[in-house]
Structure 1
Amino acid sequence: MLKRWERQAWTCPQCAHRQRKIVKRCLVTSSNAKGAAAAAAAVAEEWQPVSKASSSASHDDRTLRHIFDSPGFWKDFSAKTKYHYGGRQTGLFRNGYLTRPEGFQQFASVTLAKCERIVTAVLSYQTVEELRRVARDLDRLSDLLCRVIDLSDFVRSVHPDRRVQAAASQAYATMFEYMNVLNTTTGLNDQLKKASAVPEIYDSWSEEERTVAAILIKDFSKSAIDLAETDRQAFVDISNEIAQVGNDFVENMAAEKSTLSLESSRLKGMDPLFVRQLTRWGSVQLPTVGMPATLALRYVEDADTRREIYMASRTSSHSNLQRLEQMLKRRAELAKLSGYDSFAQLTLADKMAKTPEAVTSFLDALAKENAPRAREEVQDLLELKRSEARVGNFPAELNAWDRDYYTAQLMSGMRSKTRAPDFLSAYFSLGTVMQGLSRLFHRLYGIRLVPKETLPGETWNPDVRRLDVIDDHEGHIAVIYCDLFERAGKSPNPAHFTLRCSRRISEEEMQEAAELSSQSDSPFATAQEAANDGLATNFNPRDGNALYQLPTIALICDFSLPPQPNSGRPTLLTFRELTTLFHEMGHALHSICGRTALQNVAGTRCATDFAELPSVLMENFASAPEVLALYARHWETDAPLDPTRIKERVELDRRMQGAEIESQVLLGMLDQEYHSARPLTWPEGGIGESTKLYHEVWNNYSQVPEPPGTCWQGFFGHLFGYGATYYSYLFDRAIAGKIWRDVFQRSANGAVDPNAGKRFREEVLRHGGGRDGWRCVAGVLGEEGSPLADGERKAMEEVGRWGVHS
């Protein structure tokens, strides 16, 4: 496939919780809050951790805090460029075409013409010298498609103007249709294979070129290009059916019984006011899916009532189970048509895991490592249950409908010994957190986040802040657009988007750009602008000072604005929101530092089971004392945060980690079983086979048996988006934990050790997807010559034995 899709944002159970809109409680502020805030800001101007940064860097550091924490400062900062441009629009992201909605079609048309010239040239190549260019030319072809598709897809989902949304959607459709044509153009596939098969050519390619060639050959294969015409049509038909049924499956997840009618007395233990809101005509109408059922399972005292709610909430609608089984059966057929034993085998061939057997080995090893912790947690819950000693409560057993109830009791007892969660928020104003991230990045990687004034029309909303990423040695290396505040109509889901990847711009492209910029109606003043559509470029001293297009990233969050804009109180983050921001910045860091010469392997364009490693690792920094010391100070008094308070919170979050890991192992195993060859044996139009498999997996791996009669798999939406790769998040958590312990916690400087940062940047981040993930992991752990570097099944087992320990 010439279009290298950005990996979908992973959603683990923790992330799913984070993605729900969080209603924050306001901290009680004194009557002189405005004066206290001003005094605190003055103190903060003077307070700086030890740093070797220049005075200009210190200025940038202060500005970074103020543009997020002070509305007045941001208003003045963002108004600077308006007067210099006299109302002229520069275009979204400074793309010269996108000054008006109609520009999207011009952008697509100009890009399409460039693509067609490349295709014509590649198809005509005959000599060794010409064929040597194939990998780079096809990578550029892919980049041109991504320039329009990625940017248009983002704009149509975030821009408030419906005309812009429609124009972006049309540009997206135009390029997407052309991409599908290219994916079935056999000549491109033939030329790429021909070039790869010539030793003289293959040996002359860089590691990145070889990797890109392998990726594109694999993607062509996934488009059934090697099949006979009749089989190819069958492939297309099955693929279309999977897409339709899969989307329907995700959009129609529902319980077989949508509500339960209960007497209010049966819900004793729940908040009476909440119960009253659900009461209709004298009885409670409890929705079986969503927050009401979740709260009921945590707080309802009567076990029989909890059992009834549990069974209803874990029983999917019959129609959605049919959709699931149809999707799984068609996926198995698609794999067989493509020459694979199973859909998992087809999917995993280009991942770190390589085979379904390796994934199973990883999950088995992890389950074994986690079992003692999970058993201990179950025993703790049983002790709580026995202490109630109720008649008929079966105190020797922990039922599935008991787990949430006694977990909530256990956690409640722990929380009563700590301060309220809101206590921490006072130390995490958004500006100081962004300041802390920049300081951390500077100590570890020698890069800083520098606020940059946006030009008129550059962003899709006035609240969007632009940050330029500046490297101490390489200068400007990336651009981040931060859209972090809530607003009506905005998605509450945190996300990282790569709008433009790193890539080397060739001399030929510069000549093409010079011709374009010289035209009278050109939106670009120089060839350098035209070469990247007006987006950021810079010269790369690590690559002979070649011109590179810079990674351009958008970070989306949904943090609440202060309740009183003029109070002087900034946006304060909960610890969960803080961790979310660190996670998303981990993705951004991968895009920033993965400055490869070819875009197919830039930044986060890597194997699915490697993509979450930098972001999961970043979550550890959020609670490290030496990192908190860089920025965590009270927004009013400027007093530093006592790190023991964070330690208490982290311990609380990890109290039932064994159960959470067990749950993820179960889902990972279920995902593998569903995408094995077994669906090929299921009867057409039948129902119930997926339920049998669901209970088989649960009974093999769960400490708490699943009661007969449930069929929860109809709610497992990730089966569509992450078919056969659901293990990836656990896999990356295990690797991240190992790197955190062995690399970032082994020196006196701990998490801010520049040597550890340099090692991680050079061995992992710098390569993006251009180096085998196993070599990256072995390199950063100092095990280059070990079996770990070779990957395969034994390496997967070893990662499982590391366990998930933050």
Structure 2
Amino acid sequence: MLKRLQRRPWICQSCLRQQQRSTKRCLVTSSNTKGSAAAAASIADDYQPVSKASPSISHDDRTLRQVFDSAPFWKEFSSKNKYHYGGKSAGLFQNRYLTRPEGFQTFAQVTLQKCKKIVSRVLAYESVEEYKRTAKDLDRLSDLLCRVIDLSDFVRSVHPDPEIQAAAHQAYGMMFEYMNVLNTTTGLNDQLKKASRIPEVYNSWSEEERTVAAILEKDFSKSAIDLEDTDRQAFVDISNEVVQVGSDFVDNMAAATPFLNFESSRLKGMDPVFVRQLTRWGKVSLPTVGMPATLALRTVEDADTRREIYMANRTSEKENLRRLEQLLKRRAELAKLSGYESFGHMTLADKMAKTPEAVLSFLDALAQDNSPRVKDEMRQLLELKKGDARSGNFPSEMNAWDREYYTARLLSTMRSNTRPDDLLSAYFSLGTVMQGLSRLFHRLYGIRLVPREPLPGETWNPDVRRLDVIDDQEGHIAVIYCDLFERLGKSPNPAHFTLRCSRRIGDEEMQEAAELSSQTGGLFTTAQEAANDGLATNFNPRDRNALYQLPTIALICDFALPPSGQQGNRPTLLTFRELTTLFHEMGHALHSICGRTALQNVSGTRCATDFAELPSVLMENFAAAPEVLALYARHWETDAPIDPARVQERVEVERRMAGAEVESQVLLGMLDQQYHSSMPLSWPEGGFGESTKMYHNVWDKYSSIPEPAGTSWQGFFGHLFGYGATYYSYLFDRAIAGKVWSDVFQRRQAGAVDPEAGHRFREEVLSWGGGRDGWRCVAGALQERDGVLAEGGKGAMEKVGGWGVHS
């Protein structure tokens, strides 16, 4: 496909647990508590950023903290450009078309005209010299589509103005419809194939151009462009059905029994205040899905009551199970129509894993590595249960409805000996954390975050901060819009969005832009501005000083606003979980920032799904590293540095039941692979119950605690739609990130701020975006010598599985 649809932001388990906790994520540093204190002390005196190249750096560093921590400072800072443009809007993201709602229509129409010129030109290519331009031209065509679709999709989701939402939605629909036309334009596919098969053309292409050509060929193939007309129409019809049924499945996830009614005495152990809130007419009405049910499973003392809640919590509404089975069966048919053995084979062909067999090898190896931890955790839980279980409650075995309860009791014992969350939060003001991220990036990668006053109309909310990313050697390289505070109607899920990708702007585009700037009545002041619709550009010294459009990124979080009134000077303070979430999302941003490729199809996070989480998961490790804490973790009132031992204690609590979390994710990864095998092809049309049989078969084979008969939890597995056949990716990247953390950033004391380690990771992984095979990136970062990783395939997957997930 010419437009590679933007990856849905991965809502990872830690993010989901902000709303409904299942098992705790763990974060580990390699140092023990004593070593942590020593490492922090060793750099405590070197608190300022490593580079002193510019006198403005210290000023920018202080300003960064203040724009997030001080509301009065931000109000003054953000109003400096209030009268710029004579009070007129500069346009959303400084896109000169988007100064008013009607501008979205103009933006889409102008872009559509550019697209049609490129399509006509590519279809007319005949000479070798013309064919050499095919990869670049189709990449630019894709970029033009992305410019409108990605930006409009984001605006219609976050902008508070309904009129602007509607305008963005209309522009999105116009370009999406045109994209679907292009995806079935056989002439473009034919020209791309012809160009790729002319040796003189192919040999003239850069590695990026070859990669992009291969990506676009596969995307065309996945849209059934090579099929006969009848089969292609069947492919389109099934694809549309998959989208509709999948969306309906996600939207209608519900329990078969929405509420359970109890005498309040049966909920002994649960917070009595909370129980009273659920009481109506003398009976407790307990929702079976969500926080109330989770809290009950953790705290209710009576095992029979917990069992009843567990069964209801894990049993899905039947009609939605039918939707799931229809989705899985149609996906299997889609794969067969496209010439693949299964949907898993079709999906994984361009991923690092390549095949379902390799994924299963990885998950098997990971399960074996994790097995001793799970057994040890089970032993500890059983010891607790034997101490208070009645004889009729199977005191010598752990039931499915027991795990949450005894895990909560075990962790509460540990937490009673650690520093409360609110005391740790006093050291994690949002401004100091952002300051710390900038200092960390400066030490490792030579880049820093510099606040910039927004122009009128540039952002969608007054709380949005703009940061420019400045490289010591390359200057301005990216823009980040930080929408980090909660507000009514805003999604609570943290996410990273790429609104515009890195890409080299060619000479012909500059000529086209010069004509455009002279015809738009002063909309653009220069050709350079017109070439990127007004968004940021700069010259890239890594590419012979060519002009590049800069990555433009939006980071979304849902942190509490600073309190007003008597505590009005107190900044937003992050919990340890929120701190880790921000580091995770900044890992995605870092990939987009450093992946400054010449072609947008491989820019930043536009890489294989099972590689995209590596930088973000790796970043989580930095949040609690003592040498990184020394860069930023200061008390918001006294500016006293945190004792890293207190953070390490919290980390130890987080990691205590890590084996159970890994096992849970292995089970879901296995189930995902089974569901996207060829087996759904044999399911009877209109039948029901096959997905439940498969679910119980997987749990019976791999789970340390048997799943009771009668449950059908798969009806709540929403990731099956957005991440079908790739759910293993998060575990996979966690395993790789753990290895990179230990072998690259922890090989020496204070390695987490070692510029040499940062340089290696940037050059071997981040800078490539998706323009280099992920296995080669990992092998380069780890300086592999045996070649197993660089070759990829089943052997590499088994090797990664053997590393385990120990963080």
Q: Which residue of 2 aligns with 1:259?
A: 259
Q: Does the alignment pair 1:581 with 2:582?
A: yes
Q: Which residue of 1 aligns with 2:353?
A: 353
Q: Which residue of 2 aligns with 1:268?
A: 268
User: CA-to-partner distance for each residue in 1:375-419, whole Å, 9 max, x for gaps?
Assistant: 110110000001114231211110000000100100111111112
Distance in 1 (CA, whole Å) between partners of 2:306 and 2:316 is 17
In the alignment, structure 1 segments of 5+ residues that lack a partner are 22-43
Distance in 2 (CA, whole Å) between partners of 1:779 and 1:785 is 12
Q: Which residue of 1 aligns with 2:713?
A: 712
Contact 2:10 2:495 in 1 (8 A): no
Q: 1:280-291, aligned counterparts within 5 Å?
A: 280-291=280-291
Distance in 1 (CA, whole Å) between partners of 2:466 and 2:50 is 26
Contact 1:447 1:472 in 2 (8 A): yes
Q: Which residue of 2 aligns with 1:387?
A: 387
Cα offset, 1:787, TM superposition: 1.4
Distance in 2 (CA, whole Å) between partners of 1:732 and 1:261 is 43
Cα offset, 1:20, TM superposition: 6.9
Q: Which residue of 1 aligns with 2:135?
A: 135
Distance in 2 (CA, whole Å) between partners of 1:356 and 1:701 is 17
Q: Does the alignment pair 1:146 with 2:149?
A: no
Q: What is the total number of aligned residue pairs between the two structures?
A: 784
Distance in 2 (CA, whole Å) between partners of 1:274 and 1:117 is 63
Q: Which residue of 2 aligns with 1:333?
A: 333
Contact 1:260 1:286 in 2 (8 A): yes
Q: Which residue of 1 aligns with 2:799?
A: 798
Distance in 1 (CA, whole Å) between partners of 2:440 and 2:50 is 12
Q: Secondary structure at the match of 2:18?
A: helix
Cα offset, 1:179, TM superposition: 0.2
Q: Which residue of 2 aligns with 1:458?
A: 458
Contact 1:590 1:603 in 2 (8 A): yes
Contact 1:351 1:607 in 2 (8 A): yes
Q: 1:117-132, aligned counterparts within 5 Å?
A: 117-132=117-132
Q: 1:27-42, aligned counterparts within 5 Å?
A: none
The one-letter code matched in structure 2 to 1:454 is: P
Contact 2:297 2:404 in 1 (8 A): yes
Cα offset, 1:54, TM superposition: 2.6
Contact 2:563 2:571 in 1 (8 A): no
Contact 1:20 1:493 in 2 (8 A): no
Q: Which residue of 1 aligns with 2:178?
A: 178
User: CA-to-partner distance for each residue in 1:273-311, whole Å, 9 max, x for gaps?
Assistant: 111111111111111111111111111111111111111
Cα offset, 1:435, TM superposition: 0.3
Contact 1:616 1:733 in 2 (8 A): yes
Distance in 2 (CA, whole Å) between partners of 1:727 and 1:358 is 11
Cα offset, 1:17, TM superposition: 1.4
Q: Which residue of 2 aligns with 1:39?
A: none
Contact 1:316 1:712 in 2 (8 A): yes
Q: 1:312-323, aligned counterparts within 5 Å?
A: 312-323=312-323
Q: 1:284-433, aligned counterparts within 5 Å?
A: 284-433=284-433
Cα offset, 1:748, TM superposition: 2.9
Cα offset, 1:784, TM superposition: 5.7
Q: Which residue of 2 aligns with 1:599?
A: 600
Q: 1:42-191, aligned counterparts within 5 Å?
A: 48=48, 51-191=51-191
The one-letter code matched in structure 2 to 1:767 is: W
Q: 1:667-706, aligned counterparts within 5 Å?
A: 667-706=668-707
Distance in 2 (CA, whole Å) between partners of 1:183 and 1:608 is 21
Contact 1:516 1:522 in 2 (8 A): no
Identity of aligned residues (%): 79
User: CA-to-partner distance for each residue in 1:665-701, whole Å, 9 max, x for gaps?
Assistant: 0000000000000000111111111111101000111
CA RMSD, 1 decimal: 1.4
Which segment is superposed worse, 414-423 or 773-782? 414-423
Contact 1:442 1:448 in 2 (8 A): yes
Q: 1:212-291, aligned counterparts within 5 Å?
A: 212-291=212-291
Contact 1:738 1:802 in 2 (8 A): yes
Distance in 2 (CA, whole Å) between partners of 1:520 and 1:680 is 56
Q: Which residue of 2 aligns with 1:25?
A: none
Q: Which residue of 2 aligns with 1:479?
A: 479
Distance in 1 (CA, whole Å) between partners of 2:758 and 2:209 is 27
Q: Which residue of 2 aligns with 1:780?
A: 781
Distance in 2 (CA, whole Å) between partners of 1:701 and 1:602 is 38
Q: Which residue of 1 aligns with 2:11?
A: 11
Distance in 2 (CA, whole Å) between partners of 1:379 and 1:803 is 21
The one-letter code matched in structure 2 to 1:668 is: G
Cα offset, 1:522, TM superposition: 4.3
Which segment is superposed worse, 715-724 or 519-528? 519-528
Q: 1:50 to 1:191 in 2, by over 3 A?
A: closer
User: CA-to-partner distance for each residue in 1:745-802, whole Å, 9 max, x for gaps?
Assistant: 0123310000000000000000000000000000000016511101000000000000
Q: Which residue of 2 aligns with 1:744?
A: 745
The one-letter code matched in structure 2 to 1:114 is: K
Q: Secondary structure at the match of 2:17?
A: helix
Cα offset, 1:83, TM superposition: 2.8
Distance in 2 (CA, whole Å) between partners of 1:208 and 1:82 is 42
Distance in 2 (CA, whole Å) between partners of 1:624 and 1:520 is 53
Q: Which residue of 2 aligns with 1:643?
A: 644
Q: Which residue of 1 aligns with 2:725?
A: 724
The one-letter code matched in structure 1 to 2:59 is: H
Q: Does the alignment pair 1:763 with 2:725?
A: no
Give TM-score scaled by structure 1 length: 0.96
Distance in 1 (CA, whole Å) between partners of 2:522 and 2:167 is 20
Distance in 2 (CA, whole Å) between partners of 1:302 and 1:490 is 38
Q: Which residue of 2 aligns with 1:530?
A: 530
Distance in 2 (CA, whole Å) between partners of 1:145 and 1:561 is 36
Distance in 2 (CA, whole Å) between partners of 1:75 and 1:776 is 43
Distance in 1 (CA, whole Å) between partners of 2:84 and 2:597 is 35
Q: Which residue of 2 aligns with 1:28?
A: none
Distance in 1 (CA, whole Å) between partners of 2:181 and 2:382 is 60
The one-letter code matched in structure 2 to 1:752 is: V
The one-letter code matched in structure 2 to 1:339 is: G
Q: Which residue of 1 aligns with 2:664?
A: 663
Which segment is superposed worse, 765-774 or 80-89? 80-89
Distance in 2 (CA, whole Å) between partners of 1:309 and 1:47 is 51
Cα offset, 1:50, TM superposition: 5.8
The one-letter code matched in structure 2 to 1:173 is: G
Q: Which residue of 1 aligns with 2:499?
A: 499
Q: Secondary structure at the match of 1:554?
A: strand
Contact 2:594 2:767 in 1 (8 A): yes
Q: Which residue of 2 aligns with 1:40?
A: none
Cα offset, 1:567, TM superposition: 2.4
Q: Secondary structure at the match of 2:391?
A: coil
Q: Secondary structure at the match of 1:743?
A: helix
Cα offset, 1:12, TM superposition: 2.6
Cα offset, 1:19, TM superposition: 5.8
Distance in 2 (CA, whole Å) between partners of 1:11 and 1:562 is 26
User: CA-to-partner distance for each residue in 1:208-258, whole Å, 9 max, x for gaps?
Assistant: 001000100000011110000000011011111111111111111111111
Q: 1:512-527, aligned counterparts within 5 Å?
A: 512-519=512-519, 521-527=521-527
In the alignment, structure 2 segments of 5+ residues that lack a partner are 22-43
Q: Secondary structure at the match of 1:467?
A: strand
Contact 1:19 1:494 in 2 (8 A): no
The one-letter code matched in structure 2 to 1:662 is: E
Distance in 2 (CA, whole Å) between partners of 1:146 and 1:476 is 22
Q: 1:404 to 1:53 in 2, by over 3 A?
A: farther
Distance in 2 (CA, whole Å) between partners of 1:165 and 1:171 is 10
Distance in 2 (CA, whole Å) between partners of 1:207 and 1:279 is 65
Q: Secondary structure at the match of 1:364?
A: helix
Q: Which residue of 1 aligns with 2:26?
A: none
Q: Which residue of 2 aligns with 1:2?
A: 2
Q: Secondary structure at the match of 1:480?
A: strand
Distance in 1 (CA, whole Å) between partners of 2:318 and 2:164 is 41
User: CA-to-partner distance for each residue in 1:151-202, whole Å, 9 max, x for gaps?
Assistant: 0001111111111111110000000000000000000000000001111111
Contact 1:18 1:580 in 2 (8 A): no
